[in-house]
Homo-oligomer: A and B are copies of this chain.
Amino acid sequence: MIIVMKTIQEIAKSISESGLKVTPQRVAVMQAFEKLNHPRAEEIYKEVYNSIPGLSPTTVYNILDVLVNKGIVKRVKTESGVMRYDAVSDHHHHMYCLSSDRVEDFFDPELDKILQEYFEKKRIDGFKIEDIKLQLMGKFE
């Protein structure tokens, strides 16, 4: 698992290529994802507020909505119901801790292939699968 830090230029490019204006708020939100692990909107707000003091919480919600709609950011469902966000764009699954709110990424192309082949053979009547996500529930040691 290689962590690739995005430069401001790369972030600006991905925003711009989605047909969005490149604003300091949007760039800072994307940058915040480099520091935070599946953060909630409020955590992003606190982080970004450091560099943009006038920031409004509403703006963070707006930006996250826009980025989710463009597919740049993904929502992560949690047991508590509080929404969390994920800027990792490659397909992956999640490990959920049963005794805390920790969520970690799980990349496994081999498993993805197994699942893909399984569901190619075994179609579900009346439902067309577009994406398969695993929730691995358990405990971190």
Residues of A in contact with B (beta carbons under 8 Å apart) = 75, 77-79, 81-83, 95, 98, 104, 106, 111, 114, 118, 124, 126-141
Contacts and interface: CB of A to CB of B under 8 A. Distances in A.
Nearest to A75: B79
Contact of A141 (B128, B130, B136): B128
25 contacts: A75-B79, A77-B77, A77-B78, A77-B79, A77-B135, A81-B81, A81-B83, A98-B130, A106-B124, A114-B114, A114-B118, A126-B140, A127-B136, A127-B138, A127-B139, A127-B141, A129-B137, A129-B138, A130-B138, A130-B139, A131-B138, A132-B136, A133-B134, A133-B135, A135-B135
B124 A131 contact: no
Chain A interface secondary structure, helix, strand, loop or mixed? Answer: strand
Nearest to A141: B126
